[in-house]
Chains A and B, each alone.
Chain A
Amino acid sequence: MSKLGQAKRIIFLKTADGQLFEVDEPVAMEFEIVKSFFDENEDAADDTVVPLPNVSAEPLAGIIEFCKAHVEFRANGAAGKDEVKKFNAEYIKEKSNEQLKELILAANYLNIKEMLDFLTETIANRLKNKSVEYVRAFFGIENDFTPQEEEAVRKEYEWAFEGVDED
């Protein structure tokens, strides 16, 4: 525990690309992986640096921003309110797909359930009413179905038609 008593404890996190982050304890404890690090090493010194070998600085900064805001929301009793929705919408608006992916991978590694829920929801929303081709393009995935398999899909949809004949 901190010798200064009232002072906020700071957790030190080191990313894969060697950057050191100083994070307020409640925010860092949002990361399940950091929390269990300290649970397992109860006598860890205050200035222990937690290594995060699978996360680089950019997504971590984004994650800290998100978690910090959400810790504050909870403290203010604003959880679930419009304020949170507004923050989330703003937060994700400027994020490119590339950044989104980096965030997801990092949040998954750090094991932050709330953020993962939010990010996967965001992706699901970005895929709303989209064609298979779009989804492939979105994720950059090669179509690995054989032409025969594709043909089968196409044939199946031949049964569908718009409208019906005049009675």
Chain B
Amino acid sequence: MNELGVITVLLATTQARLTRNGFKEILQNKKDDAAKNEMLNCWNDYTVTMDKLSAVHLPSNQKDYKGMIKLVNEAVKMMKDKKISVYWSSDLPEGILEMISKRLALSDYVSFGNVCKTWRGIVTKAICAKPSRGFPWLLMSGQYETTTRSCFSILENKMWFLQIPKSYGECVLSGGCVMGSFEEWLIMVKFHQCPFKISVINPLSGVEIHLPPVDENYRKLMFSKYPGDENCVYMLFTRLWSKSIFWTLGAQDWCELGADRYYDGISLNGYFYLLYNNNNIRVIDGTNILSTVTTELYEVRMPHDLPIQDDDDISMSSRYLVELCGEIILVYRYLRRKHDFHSSIRFETYDFKICKLDLSKKAWVALDSLGDYVLFVSRNCSRSILAKELGLGMANCIYFTYEYDEPMMNEWEFPQCREGSNQSDWGVFNLEKNHSKSICPIETALNRWPSTWITVPLWWYFQKKTPLFM
């Protein structure tokens, strides 16, 4: 009995010592503070455990079996409990876990949701409550004759493949092209037939929405709700004649809105805010648009010091409407001709200005800063994301993509765009430091071509079904 007891104690002590040494070794190699802290805790715990076990030798020598067993049990329990420092999950209230998870950047949030089933549940609930959170991906142009698109995920710093249905992407001449995006939705146009066929497809869920045919290509497509929602109003500006037309699911055809021409538009809380070329705004109630079109025109003053330049041979500007914390932001992007005759780059972005719509004062109010936010301006759809959510450690900046030298041109992947095109005017512009840098991930021919932002929602990162059309 005595011998057996001593052997047990020796075995336990040896195990504790080995584990402790293991932690010590890891400790020496870990560089980041949190990991060090973690390992230090484990190491401390095993030190205490070993002290306990060493103490057992004394009762065993004195044949105090009861005392020895008690101490061994204590030590074993301690080792079991303290195997990895502390057990949090069992007694942390769900509210606390929610508070923690809310503070995590997107990438950490994915790790958090993959920890265990309970945590997945917390994360799933949060995603349902706020479905628009997601990873910004830069959708690159497709390669010739293929349905696969490369996407660059700026947060994960890696490339993903996205598969587009064959009927849309098989061949640029007979198929369709991605011409814009809305969150994770792609706007596909078959423009080699007349009338034009425009579809809004979700490459992650496989949902496709086919809009009624249009006589000419589109320039801007807005959604009053999430595409596919039965009450969603689809508002479209055509490209050449700038007709404004709208449609909802179930309606036979498009309805015309009126003869006015708009530069851009945005949907916010069921209302459409349409921007005239002179920056005046028309507000349209989208909630009951099929029966009555309620509109109001606002003549909106511009800030005095905002440079408004006419497009010419040496400079031009383009504008984007973006929603930021429930407000409408007008983004001015300034480009100038690059005097490099060896390169085919014609225009490059050199500045951005932002202002906020204040309808009560009928004014665009100049803003110096985006605060804690980051903007992604893109063909068809732009958006704002809290920098902290991205985990980038860089706020108050604007991610922009290349747009061909005609700013109103939404299209990309035109064969003629690709031929000899060597454009790389896309990157991130820091409003504070007033300069931009390239975010070009990988030096391949891919980055020569225009690209657009999509937002890949968090649910996709947890769903087990394949993201790709097979």
Contact = CB atoms under 8 A, between A and B. Distances in A.
Nearest to A127: B108
Given A159-B468, A161-B158, A140 B89 contact: yes
A159 B117 contact: no
Contact of A162 (B44, B117, B158, B467): B158
A107 to B, nearest CB: 9
Interface stretch (A9-17, A64-72, A141-149): A141-149
Contact of B86 (A140, A145, A162): A140
Nearest to A95: B37
Interface residues of A, number: 45
Contacts of A162: 158-159
A97 B86 contact: yes
Contacts of B442: 163-164
A165 to B, nearest CB: 8
Nearest to A138: B38
B226 interface: no
Contact of A166 (B44, B112, B444): B444
A117 B99 CA distance: 8
Interface string A121-148: 1011111111110111111111111000
Contact of B96 (A104, A127, A160): A104
A138 B97 CA distance: 13
Contacts, number: 131
A135 B111 CA distance: 7
Contact of A144 (B41, B107, B117): B117
A45 interface: no
A136 B108 CA distance: 12
A139 B99 contact: no
A140 B83 contact: yes
B100 interface: yes
Contact of A116 (B41, B87, B88, B99): B99
Interface string B44-58: 100000000000000
Nearest to B393: A128
Contacts of B129: none
B464 A156 contact: yes
B112 A135 contact: yes
A57 B428 CA distance: 51
Given A126-B34, A132-B114, A143-B116, A156 B467 contact: yes
B41 A98 contact: yes
A108 B41 contact: no
A72 to B, nearest CB: 25
Interface string B433-470: 00000000010111000000000000000001011100
Interface string B74-103: 000000000111111101110110011001
Task: Kindly name the residue among A117, A131, A137, A140 whose own CB sees the greatest number of chain B CB atoms within 10 A.
Answer: A140
B100 A123 contact: yes
B347 to A, nearest CB: 24
Given A121-B103, A126-B37, A141 B160 contact: no
Contact of B159 (A96, A124, A132, A161): A161
Contacts of B464: 149, 152-153, 156
25 contacts: A96-B44, A97-B38, A97-B86, A104-B92, A108-B93, A117-B99, A124-B104, A130-B108, A132-B115, A135-B111, A138-B34, A139-B86, A139-B92, A139-B115, A140-B84, A141-B87, A141-B115, A142-B116, A143-B115, A145-B116, A153-B114, A160-B160, A164-B150, A164-B444, A167-B143
